[in-house]
Amino acid sequence: MRFLAPVLLISTAASLSPLFAQTQPALSFDSGAGLHHVDGAFLALGPDYKAFFTPAGVEFVPALGERAPRNLPLYLSFASASRGGVELVGAQPRLPLRAGEFAQFQRDGGVIERYDATDAGLEQSFVFEQRPAGDGDLVVRMRVSGELALSESTDSRLAFSQPGIGGVSIGAVTGIDARGARVAGRLESGADAAGQYVELSLPDAFVDSAAFPLVLDPLIGTSINLSTGFTQDQRYPDVIWSESSDAWVAAWTVIYSSSDYDVTMRSYDASGTPIAGAIPVEVATTTLALNPKVAAVDPSDSVIVAWTQAAGIGGSALLRSVRPNGNSLSSIVVLQSSGGTSITSVDVAGRRSGGASALAVWSIDTLGGSAVRSRSISVPQGGTPSLGTTFIVETGTQGNAKLARFPDNSGRHFVGYEIASNLQCELLDSVGVPTGHLVLLPSGVDSGIMNFDLDMAADGSRHVVSRMTSNILAWTTTRYDWLGKLSSTFLAFEHISTFIATNPISLTGTIEDSGVAISGGSAFICSDWGLGEQMRRYSIIDGALISMATIPTPVGTVLPVNGLTMAARSNAYSLANDGLFIAYETAQKIHGQLGEVFGPGSSQSLGGACGGGGSVTTNGPAVIGNFAFAVGNSGVAAGSALAILNMSAPGTPLVCGTCAWNPFLVTFARIPSGTSVPPVTLAVPFTAAVNGIEVEFQWTVVGTPQTPCELFSNASVSDRLRVTIGE
């Protein structure tokens, strides 16, 4: 491969500010409300609520966070519709139906009770197909019940809450007829022998003059908006890129109460635009679903979501598959049941090609000791995953086990776990059997490993580990280790019997968390340094620091940052699949940030072309790691005999006639074809040493009909293109 290496000898580095990426707007985790059928339940899911529809009515569950000792739902059921005190429709159980994007109950007398899941809450409306008989106000009565007490009551708002915890609010009433005429209604609460109720009413005069159908609380408004009114509690994000669907997939936990943690998933396109609404992966009301992990299984265009789940004593490891667009949510599969064990963590890795399979590892604690186990997962498209044999990876372990997000091209997985207060990493085969290739990374402190993350390149020759150790809580040390390096040459693992850890990079500071991703030939390590998110980019050729940057965080973000995770679109070199996704939690909310691995580079035409010399062209940015970077020529004089590409450092050209010519330094010859010249590929190496270097390219074309410089018969030159190598 021809590299731009010669420029190191002829050019000096320019003064460039190191960049992580061209950062993009932060992603929202507070949208995507919709209706779903999950595990036998019909429900609406919003960012801070879930609502179950049953024949008896609606159970609205606000996400109140850990401060709520248990779920505090508000139950609503239709009691009656009346006019002037005369009942028009009575309470009768009805099966909830899904009508497009709405849930509805078909009541007697042409009355429809309808619900629309919105990001702000659950909008409720009643549609009257024909004018109700009688005189007087039109009144709909709803029964309400639950532990939440009425704490506010006005004509336009009711609130049900518990002090210091939060609750549910019901907003203003509006009526709208078929012509679009509108009127403000009234909201009241009361109690009778049957219990507490809420009444929604429209004035008599409006009902008499209205064109029907008449809607009490239209879907276009924010009336009868059931929402928590409090900040939700979101934790434990994880992200992955699905190549088969061209989508980022994120999963996280929503905390409804200290006894109910759910898992939610959502997909975004490469620019961060949501592809579909949020998907309820786990919605049981009495379990703790923790630390969800996602893995992309591209051969079946599927995603695996795995999590640990506790219900009382002990816990289990569970998983299910889903298409990235939210379709085909499979049944829940038990990876490891409790059975007297405590599941402390689970992680999954997917596949880019080959069989439609994934691998799971999990950590368990039992009376007989602790261990890390592995199990392969077959993932059919649109079907329920099936499990392979369980293998013991290691015994006597501590803490969490983690996998690199994808295996290498040979199907081997990279796993890490804590053992005897140190971090041990090894390779597993495609079904989870240890291969015997392992390395122990001593922590250097008695307290062991507080946090770690790892990743590996697609070809299996580059591995990076970030680990955080501490002997006092206020001061931590993070070590970033490159594995598999012998002397100055990286070796594939099948060529050596054990790993060799080299080039440890020690960084000290108040570090809360860190995440790692390999993309192309760079290792990206993102950490919370107590002052904000910082990204450091290293070359995996030599471990040298290429650049640092601060990741933008939302205005008002409260530090520290927790649960930081990161994924790259590709762990191989891929200029087309250029992207990083960073997710983290702060102040009980999940935030996401997209970035680019490769920047746009910098180039400038300096002019100086003459005769039929054409113009210098490139096929992409001159950025670190762009192995496909090539320099061509377009617009040369037809019939030209030879074109010579010159690569040199910036300097003063020689001027002859209308030509400005750079003297030859490093040259490459090509035979023109028509009016263009085949490009010369000049791979930009993955090394910090070339960052900021300036190079000038120019073509000298021989055999042109023109002679713009009298010193050289029938020769012309192109313009001079100055390129600054960037990130």
- Model confidence at 482, pLDDT cuts 50, 70, 90, reads low
Residue 537 near residue 545 (C-beta atoms within 8 A): yes
pLDDT of residue 689: 74
- Say which CATH number the domain at 525 has: 2.120.10.10
Tell whether the model's pLDDT for residue 721 goes beyond 60.
Answer: yes
In a domain? residue 34 = no
DSSP code of residue 209: H
Q: How does pLDDT run across 670-679, given as a tens digit for each residue?
A: 999 999 999 9
pLDDT of residue 239: 95
Tell whether the model's pLDDT for residue 50 goes beyond 80.
Answer: yes
In a domain? residue 307 = yes
Mean pLDDT along residues 287-308: 95
Which of these, 86, 57, 55, lies nearest to 74 by C-alpha position? 57
Q: Are residues 573 and 645 in the same domain?
A: no
pLDDT of residue 30: 84
Least confident of 206-215, 316-325, 382-391, 590-599: 590-599
Q: Are residues 205 and 242 in the same domain?
A: no
Q: Are residues 161 and 190 in the same domain?
A: yes
Q: Are residues 403 and 276 in the same domain?
A: yes
pLDDT of residue 621: 82
The last residue of one of the domains, among 577, 595, 613, is 595
Which tops the pLDDT comparison, 398 or 551? Answer: 398
Q: Are residues 545 and 498 in the same domain?
A: yes
Q: How does pLDDT run across 75-126, given as a tens digit for each residue?
A: 999 999 999 988 988 888 888 988 778 899 999 888 999 999 999 889 999 9
Residue listed under structure tokens 């429709």: 89
Mean pLDDT along residues 351-373: 89
The last residue of one of the domains, among 575, 595, 615, is 595
In a domain? residue 316 = yes
CA 421 to chain centre: 31
Q: Are residues 237 and 220 in the same domain?
A: no
Q: Are residues 353 and 492 in the same domain?
A: yes
In a domain? residue 39 = no
Tell me the residue range of the domain where 70 lies.
Answer: 48-226
Q: How many domains does the chain have?
A: 3
Which of these, 576, 571, 591, 583, lies nearest to 405 by C-alpha position? 571
Q: How many other CB atoms are found less than 10 A from the CB of residue 670?
A: 18
- The conformational region for residue 37 under phi > 0 = left, psi -120 to 50 = alpha, else beta, is beta
pLDDT of residue 726: 77
Question: What does pTM read for this prediction?
Answer: 0.83
At residue 478's C-alpha, the angle toward residues 590 and 358, to 5°, is: 55
Tell whether the model's pLDDT for residue 476 goes beyond 60.
Answer: no
Mean pLDDT along residues 709-724: 92
Q: Are residues 217 and 286 in the same domain?
A: no
pLDDT of residue 472: 40
Q: Measure the CA–CA gap between 402 and 405, rounded to whole angstroms.
A: 9
Least confident of 245-259, 472-486, 600-614: 472-486
In a domain? residue 492 = yes
Q: Are residues 536 and 498 in the same domain?
A: yes
Residue 608 near residue 653 (C-beta atoms within 8 A): yes
Tell whether the model's pLDDT for residue 488 goes beyond 60.
Answer: no
Q: How does pLDDT run across 565-614, given as a tens digit for each residue?
A: 888 887 665 666 677 888 888 777 888 888 777 666 788 999 999 999 99
Q: Are residues 297 and 333 in the same domain?
A: yes
Tell whether the model's pLDDT for residue 184 goes beyond 60.
Answer: yes
Most confident among 27-31, 153-157, 214-218 (mean pLDDT): 153-157
Q: Measure the CA–CA gap between 170 and 718, rounded to whole angstroms.
A: 72
Mean pLDDT along residues 61-88: 92
Q: Are residues 258 and 143 in the same domain?
A: no
3-state secondary structure 426-487: EEECCCCCEEEEEEEECCCCCCCEEEEEEEECCCCCCEEEEEEEEEECCEEEEEEEEECEEC
Q: Are residues 634 and 487 in the same domain?
A: no
Q: How does pLDDT run across 605-641, given as a tens digit for each residue?
A: 999 999 999 999 998 888 877 777 899 999 999 999 9
Tell whether the model's pLDDT for residue 304 goes beyond 90.
Answer: yes
pLDDT of residue 684: 82
Q: How many other CB atoms are found less than 10 A from the CB of residue 570?
A: 22
Identity of residue 30: D
Tell whether the model's pLDDT for residue 209 goes beyond 90.
Answer: yes
DSSP E strands, 217-277: 225-226, 233-242, 247-257, 260-268
In a domain? residue 41 = no
Q: Measure the CA–CA gap between 649 and 629, rounded to whole angstroms.
A: 18
Q: Measure the CA–CA gap between 709 and 716, rounded to whole angstroms.
A: 8
Tell whether the model's pLDDT for residue 543 goes beyond 70.
Answer: no
Torsions phi, psi of 18, nearest 5?
-65, 135
pLDDT of residue 483: 56
Least confident of 479-488, 516-525, 553-562, 658-667: 479-488
Report the percentage of the chain scoring pLDDT > 90.
49
When the pLDDT of each residue in the chain is averaged and rounded to a whole number, the result is: 82
In a domain? residue 620 = yes
Helix (H) or strand (E) holding 207: helix 204-209
Mean pLDDT along residues 365-373: 80
Residue 136 near residue 80 (C-beta atoms within 8 A): no
Least confident of 118-127, 414-423, 446-455: 446-455
Instruction: List all residues 6 or more positions away from 8 whose beta carbon is below 8 Å from its beta carbon.
Output: 689, 690, 693
The last residue of one of the domains, among 173, 198, 226, is 226
- Cα dihedral sign, 393-445-525-399: positive
Residue 547 tokens, joined: 């650049």
In a domain? residue 22 = no
pLDDT of residue 583: 86
